[in-house]
Amino acid sequence: MLIYIPFYDIISIKKVISMDYFDYKNGKLYAEDVDVSMLAEKFKTPLYIYSSRTIIEHLRKIKSAFKEFDTLVCYSVKANSNISILKLIAEEDAGFDVVSGGELFRVLKAGGNPKKIVYAGVGKTPEEIFYALKTGILMFNIESVEELQTINKIAKNLKIKADVALRINPDVDAHTHSYITTGKKENKFGINIILANSLFNTAKKYKHINIKGIDMHIGSQITIIQPYIDAIKKLKNFIEQIKSFSKNLEFFNIGGGMGIIYKDEKPATAAEFASEISPYIKDLNLKLIIEPGRFIVGNGGILVTSVIYNKKGINKNFLIVDAGMNDLIRPALYGAYHSIIPVKQIKGKNILYDIVGPICESADFLGKDRHLPDLKQGDLIAIRSAGAYGFVMSSNYNSRPRAAEVLVQNNKYKLIRKRETYEDLIKLEI
């Protein structure tokens, strides 16, 4: 039985004890009401399996936590961009945060409402800006003066005004992994407050720009609220200074980054988060935008993989499985921890293993020093909390076809991305 630290507020017993809908029934792992080993047999491994219920509940949870404010939840597409997942989210009437023309294309294919799309990223190309302006998105989150000038020029050619928010770098430490810290002055993201101030003063010269928002995003997998409060306070001061001469200001976007449980973290709940930042937001009279990615999909997916070899050594035992760093790079890239469990519970003594993939890199591991049963070739294990930054960061390294993806809803399932084939690996090569 998988018991986790309370994650949800007290709404139902199920929600109090469990963070997702992957659980054992009679010793076999289920995704909602679907037998995981049956899916692995049918679709082969490595296989990403997502739970619709987990994803929708997390989205509703964060929406409801922020209902005190006029809030637009823009799901951050980079966390998981499969069109079927985006569709689920669009059907809940959420907005989207995109960072590329490709993500924008996916959201539109999934039926997302352009008027609820915000577009962030330090390197938007002129082609991407043109595409987003033609699409009629809600706004760009601008990250540099050159970007502002480029958008102004393209909007002029199109004879329109582009709606934008200024992404401000508040210079706070989010206390997360350095690779996913984005709100410190040494990071490439956003513009500093002094420059933002002068941009507001000179905004009139950008005739095709309408600055209607202030934006921040300080990092990802943030488990404490204080960095948000520190950043919001700085931006609140700034907004109060410029409000008298920026009549079009309508939105305050506080970004994403809310952390989830991978191991034993105790992230603030969505409700705690909303209530603690409320005093700094409510009297600004601006609409709020939040951009959660991981919070919505992180616990909503597992990666199922089969044992290729159980290699017992003198110093270490290795469980060599058919998923590698090309399928899930988070452990290799960030030293990230994912809980790993057998798909069938087996009685008997556990053994200490490193769970590793077949790739020719020592960074190719999924978990180190884990206790698992004495598994044999073909046995299945599940890597939990793989719904965010899992498949989207996968690659064909070592010429490995990318995994298939399946979406479960109650006792139903559907293949939402086919496994790649060897032919797929070469089909674009000339």
Ligand X SMILES: Cc1ncc(COP(=O)(O)O)c(C=O)c1O
Write out the catalytic residue numbers.
Answer: 360
The window from 249-257, 331-339, 391-399, 418-426 that contacts ligand X (CB under 6 A) reads: 249-257
Residue identified by tokens 């601008």 is 142
Closer CB to ligand X, 47 or 270, in the complex: 270
Closer CB to ligand X, 292 or 342, in the complex: 292
Closer CB to ligand X, 292 or 324, in the complex: 292
Is the Cα dihedral 172, 173, 178, 181 positive or negative? Answer: negative
Residue identified by tokens 């674009």 is 428
What 374-378 contacts at long range (C-beta under 8 Å, 24+ apart), as own/partner pairs, is 374/310, 374/346, 374/348, 374/349, 375/307, 375/310, 375/319, 375/342, 375/346, 376/307, 376/310, 377/306, 377/307, 377/308, 377/309, 377/310, 378/306, 378/307
Closest contact distance (angstroms) between CB of 257 and ligand X is 4
Among 170, 257, 301, 331, binds ligand X (CB under 6 A): 257
Using CB atoms within 10 A of its CB, is residue 204 exposed (0-12), middle (13-18) or buried (19+)? exposed
Number of residues that bind ligand X (CB under 6 A): 18
Query: Counting contacts by CB under 6 A, is residue 256 touching ligand X?
Result: yes
Closest contact distance (angstroms) between CB of 256 and ligand X is 3
Query: Counting contacts by CB under 6 A, is residue 391 touching ligand X?
Result: no
Binding-residue pattern over the window 108 to 147 for ligand X, x denoting contact by CB under 6 A = ------------x---------------------------
- Report the Cα 308 to chain-centroid distance in Å: 30
Give the bridge partners for 342, in sequence order.
381
DSSP letter at 78? G
CB atoms within 10 A of CB 266: 12
The window from 237-245, 254-262, 304-312, 372-380 that contacts ligand X (CB under 6 A) reads: 254-262
Buried b (16+ CB within 10 A) or exposed e, 381-409: bbbbbbbbbbbebbeeeeebbbbbbbbbb
The window from 26-34, 54-62, 74-82, 345-353 that contacts ligand X (CB under 6 A) reads: 74-82
Query: Counting contacts by CB under 6 A, is residue 255 touching ligand X?
Result: yes
Binding-residue pattern over the window 283 to 322 for ligand X, x denoting contact by CB under 6 A = --------xxxxx---------------------------
The window from 80-88, 226-234, 255-263, 271-279 that contacts ligand X (CB under 6 A) reads: 255-263
Closest contact distance (angstroms) between CB of 202 and ligand X is 25
Closer CB to ligand X, 291 or 322, in the complex: 291
Residue identified by tokens 């101030």 is 197
| Parallel/antiparallel/unpaired status of strands 317-321 and 28-31 | unpaired
Query: Counting contacts by CB under 6 A, is residue 386 touching ligand X?
Result: no
Query: Counting contacts by CB under 6 A, is residue 81 touching ligand X?
Result: no
Residue identified by tokens 């000179």 is 202
Binding region for ligand X (CB under 6 A): 76, 78-79, 97, 120, 217, 220-221, 255-258, 291-295, 388
